[in-house]
Structure 1
Amino acid sequence: MYNILLVEDERWVRTAVKRTIERTELPFQVAGECQNGLEALDWLRDRDVDLVLADIRMPVMDGLTFLSQLRERECMVSVVLVSGHDDFKYIQQGLRLGVFDYLLKPVEVEEMKGCLVKWMENVGSQKPAKPEVKDAQELSPVELVLELIAERLPGEITLTDAAAAVHLNPSYLSQLFKQRMNQTFVDYVLHARMNEAERLLTHTSLRVSEIADRLGYADVAYFSNTFKRLKHYTPSEYRKRLTGIG
């Protein structure tokens, strides 16, 4: 189970965010709550979490100041900024400070799930989870497949491969997967690959063609069209909009 520190000045919003996290049915729990960035810095002095969800606008110390001071301490815990204001100035400042992701209020379950899954794929897979609720032998077939997808990313994995790994018929696994994740196996893998593309566009200077190649797309145009269909911008447009990198 991965631990989250929730930093938000309004109690009812903290309650709503906790419920949203629970509804993702992913292995995350809120281990602590703070009302502002200063309180969160104190909380983190002698405690450790995997991920911090912090509002941008808070009294005493806002989310960006909190993130800046956190980095000055060389604390590299992943931080997701949450705001009710769709302002790219905040995104750009957060990116410069190494924010992992950025969510807009109100955060819907699917958006939260996408963010947490992306964290699991890119960060969580590189570190052991906190004291496990289940050991590997007790994980459900779908949970095992999610781990397999995270391990194989950005390489390709088919439903047949996944079914063989968990000793199930592909058709039956497909039904289980859709029931649990509310999307097909193919759509989940596609979104995972495009989320990785989004991360590479945001946090590296790799060319679009290099990112396409890394994700297994021989046709750059097809990759760009797929990215635009899911993210509403071409890879080049997305990078320019967020980071100003051509």
Structure 2
Amino acid sequence: MKGFACFTVICLVCPMKARPREVLRRRLSFRGIYRRKKKMYKVLLADDEGLVRELLKKNLELSGLPVRVVATAGNGREALQKAEELRPDIVIADIVMPFMNGLEFLGQLQKKNLAVKTLIISGYDEFEYAQKAISLGVSEYLLKPFLPQELFAAVRKIIDRLEQKEEMTANPDAETANGQETGQTETADRKDRQAVRAVRAAQAYIKEHLQDGRLSIDETAEVVHFSVSYLRQIFKEVTGDNFNEYLIRQRMEKAAELLGTTSLKIQEIAEACGYDDQRYFASSFKKQYGCTPTKFKTDRRNE
């Protein structure tokens, strides 16, 4: 079953007695500095689930980002047709769609030379999906479920790149005069994108190999083609967790899911999550959830 993106509706409430200047300040704080910019970037949403498309659209409308959803599509074929017709600046697409999946859709965009930034969202954790998306030049990659703030951050990064490109095109003299500074900025931006893509690929690989008790940062770094020291550094910067913290949390989340939805024995669940020692597994689980796996399973059955 496909993963599902969870979103929250953002509400802004201004007290009736607030002074006009204070109300304005709050509105600007909510909307962000992007609202002051005149250009609105066109966004195309492609996902085969109507509810997901509607939630994405509503959250983007409430984000305060300078974006306007010009169309939605329920499959890759429809998305390609609308991309050719409307020429969006940004495409947000799910990987798994009927008729033409998200990766095939990206490939067609490249073949038709459609200059568009792409954000791929997926409920599938398979490493080959992330690896293929990266090879197709995807700008950002999000794994479901994700928070609205993660979506906004990914779209904001894309907007920053679009604005930087427009400024360089509109002011070539400034580009020449500040060539060194611009080059340094572009290099840093490329490194940032490279780091995020490497971490997303690493996350996908981790989730696909949680049952492997020998899974390590050394193995993961080799798979994503980066040094161990570099992956360790960027993993912490991008996720906020070090590699082992992230790995343990993912294993515990998988364990909780299996405890609540299957009839597997505790030892079987431990092994499915990469633990040979049931006692060590139980200790790790209790640190994460505050109770033993057995009690967690019993509580879920009684709900």
Does the 8 A contact of 1:9 with 1:36 survive in 2? yes
- Aligned Cα root-mean-square deviation (Å): 3.2
Q: Does residue 11 in structure 1 map to residue 50 in structure 2?
A: yes
Task: Please report how far the alpha carbon of residue 230 of structure 1 lies from its aligned counterpart in structure 2 after TM superposition.
Answer: 4.1
Aligned to 1:18, the other structure's residue is in SS state helix
Which region of structure 1 is more displaced relative to structure 2, 225-234 or 113-122? 225-234
The whole-number CA distance in structure 2 between the counterparts of 1:5 and 1:60 is 18
Q: 1:33/1:226 Cα in 2 relative to 1: closer, same or farther (>3 Å)?
A: closer
Q: Which amino acid in the other structure matches residue 125 of structure 2?
A: D
The whole-number CA distance in structure 2 between the counterparts of 1:42 and 1:152 is 36
Cross-structure match for 1:112: 151
Structure 1: gaps (5+ residues): 129-150, 156-192, 205-220, 235-246
Does the 8 A contact of 1:5 with 1:31 survive in 2? yes
The whole-number CA distance in structure 1 between the counterparts of 2:70 and 2:183 is 29
**Paired residues for 1:127-206 under 5 Å:** 127=166, 197-201=191-195
Does the 8 A contact of 1:24 with 1:112 survive in 2? no
Structure 2: gaps (5+ residues): 1-39, 168-180, 199-228, 244-303
Cross-structure match for 1:158: none
Q: Which amino acid in the other structure matches residue 198 of structure 1?
A: D
Cross-structure match for 1:23: 62
Cross-structure match for 2:108: 69
Q: Which has the higher helix share?
A: 2
Q: 1:233/1:51 Cα in 2 relative to 1: closer, same or farther (>3 Å)?
A: farther
Does the 8 A contact of 1:7 with 1:55 survive in 2? yes
- Identity between Structure 1 and Structure 2 (%): 34
Cross-structure match for 2:97: 58
Q: How many residues align?
A: 158
The whole-number CA distance in structure 1 between the counterparts of 2:235 and 2:141 is 19
The whole-number CA distance in structure 2 between the counterparts of 1:19 and 1:44 is 20
Task: Please report how far the alpha carbon of residue 80 of structure 1 lies from its aligned counterpart in structure 2 after TM superposition.
Answer: 1.0
Does the 8 A contact of 1:17 with 1:107 survive in 2? no
Q: Which amino acid in the other structure matches residue 228 of structure 1?
A: K
TM-score (norm 2): 0.46
Deviation sequence 1:166-191 (CA, Å, 0-9, x none)? xxxxxxxxxxxxxxxxxxxxxxxxxx
2:236 to 228, 231, 234: 228
Cross-structure match for 1:94: 133
The whole-number CA distance in structure 1 between the counterparts of 2:98 and 2:72 is 15
Q: 1:202/1:105 Cα in 2 relative to 1: closer, same or farther (>3 Å)?
A: closer
Cross-structure match for 1:84: 123
Q: Which amino acid in the other structure matches residue 79 of structure 2?
A: A
Deviation sequence 1:203-242 (CA, Å, 0-9, x none)? 89xxxxxxxxxxxxxxxx9xx75862443468xxxxxxxx
1:41 to 80, 86, 95: 80
Aligned to 2:45, the other structure's residue is in SS state strand
The whole-number CA distance in structure 2 between the counterparts of 1:226 and 1:78 is 23
Q: 1:57/1:227 Cα in 2 relative to 1: closer, same or farther (>3 Å)?
A: closer
Q: Which amino acid in the other structure matches residue 99 of structure 1?
A: V
Structure with higher Rg: it is 2
